[in-house]
Amino acid sequence: MFNNKTILITGGTGSFGHKFIPMTLEKYNPKKIIVFSRDEMKQWEMAKLFPNDDRLRFFIGDVRDRDRLYRALDGVDYVVHAAATKIVPTAEYNPFECIKTNVNGAMNLIDACIDKKVKGCVALSTDKASSPVNLYGASKLASDKLFVSGNAYAGGHETHFSVVRYGNVMGSRGSVIPFFMSIRDQGKLPITDERMTRFMISLEQGVELVWHAFEDMIGGEIYVKKIPSMKVTDLARVVAPEAELEMVGVRPGEKLHEQMIGFEDAPYTYEYPEHFKILPAINDWHKDPRRIKDGVKVAENFVYSSDNNAEWMTDSELQAWLEQNAQSIGRI
């Protein structure tokens, strides 16, 4: 799909971009991958990782800047939208800034993709967009709705939009595993609630889900990867077996459990061997055989959350992952 094509990734110097770019360069032979982001230092650091690959280009810009997006999308075939304000407490205390990036930025990108005749755009979402209780989740739910309805908004244009949704990315910057590892020598780890659970997905799985979305989408689908769960107390015990667990209470806007599909979405959700797909409620697209394909309708009261998951990660599986990824945890 990406052979000899030009791909632009917004927020491309983040954790996802650091994994998407080398995996895509290796698996496919794109004409060009454009990293669109606003931090020149992160771009400079990333460029040093690919010193002899002229397929990688860098473009300073912000999704809030509509004109800059139009310039960046000249000649682009596919877009991965990874740019977001995503730290929950940061969004709670800086709500206007969160909306400018996550909602206004999505609107700018949708307009630019349509007008520049981009073939396809896949936006990254989060478990927090399902039944949101914090501003970050609410802004990403709005973003998801924008990208889904963007397929109708495009009118007769050929641009297609879809969304991929996943939970806690193992080892990514700012996530729980590198945080616990950074303070485990202190002998005490803060746990917000002993009941808390999280989904566990690797960056590699996240990239593969985006690839699948581009290959499978008609437009408007939300893809949800089937992944295991783990209790945060068990995760802490594997990362720091000798540390004391200190219960500190739930942070503003924080959920006890991650949810990726709520029962309100069940009427539009289909199951596949390795993922679920939430189809659009608008325009009866959820009845479209081209979008359903070989999917099986989920139960009427279906909910996919980290506490009711059928698959759980064991201590030994997490330990093996930690050993295998020791050099990259928290660095990308």
Q: Are 295 and 274 in contact (CB under 8 A)?
A: no
What pTM was computed for the model? 0.95
Amino acid letter, 14: G
Please check the confidence at residue 252 and state whether its pLDDT lies above 80: no
Domain count, the chain: 1
Comparison of pLDDT for 271 and 173, the residue scoring more: 271
Residue-level pLDDT at 154 = 86
Asked whether residue 254 is assigned to any structural domain, the reply reads: no
Asked whether residue 328 is assigned to any structural domain, the reply reads: no
Residue-level pLDDT at 331 = 67
Asked whether residue 67 is assigned to any structural domain, the reply reads: yes
Domain that holds residue 138: 6-167+202-226+259-304
Per the prediction, the chain carries an average pLDDT of 94
Q: Is the dihedral of CA 132, 135, 139, 142 positive or negative?
A: positive
| Confidence tier at 326 by pLDDT (50, 70, 90) | confident
Residue-level pLDDT at 296 = 98
For 138, 200, 217, the CA distances from 243, given in Å and listed in that order, are 35, 22, 46
Short-list 181, 150, 194, 203, CA closest to 16: 203
Active-site annotation, residues: 128
Q: Give dist(CA 296, CA 276) in Å, integer.
A: 9
Residue-level pLDDT at 175 = 84
Asked whether residue 101 is assigned to any structural domain, the reply reads: yes
Please check the confidence at residue 332 and state whether its pLDDT lies above 80: no
Read off the pLDDT of residues 145-203 as tens digits, 9 standing for 90 and up. 999 999 999 888 899 999 999 887 888 877 889 999 989 889 899 999 999 999 999 99
User: Which residues lie closer than 8 Å to 249 by C-beta, 6 or more apart?
Assistant: 192, 193
Q: Is the dihedral of CA 58, 64, 65, 66 positive or negative?
A: positive
Asked whether residue 232 is assigned to any structural domain, the reply reads: no
Least-confidence region, from 109-123, 135-149, 181-195, 299-313: 181-195
Asked whether residue 315 is assigned to any structural domain, the reply reads: no
- Nearest-10 crossing angle of helices 203-216, 15-27: 60
What's the rounded mean pLDDT across residues 306-328? 92
Short-list 89, 68, 69, CA closest to 81: 69
Asked whether residue 311 is assigned to any structural domain, the reply reads: no
What's the rounded mean pLDDT across residues 95-120? 98
What's the rounded mean pLDDT across residues 273-285? 96
Amino acid letter, 168: N
Q: Are 260 and 304 in contact (CB under 8 A)?
A: yes
What's the rounded mean pLDDT across residues 26-31? 95
Please check the confidence at residue 285 and state whether its pLDDT lies above 80: yes
Short-list 275, 265, 268, 262, CA closest to 297: 268
Residue-level pLDDT at 168 = 78
- The CATH number of the domain holding residue 289 is 3.40.50.720
Asked whether residue 119 is assigned to any structural domain, the reply reads: yes
Read off the pLDDT of residues 40-82 as tens digits, 9 standing for 90 and up. 999 999 999 999 899 999 999 999 999 999 999 999 999 999 9
What are residue 129's phi and psi, to 5 degrees? -80, -10
Please check the confidence at residue 322 and state whether its pLDDT lies above 70: yes
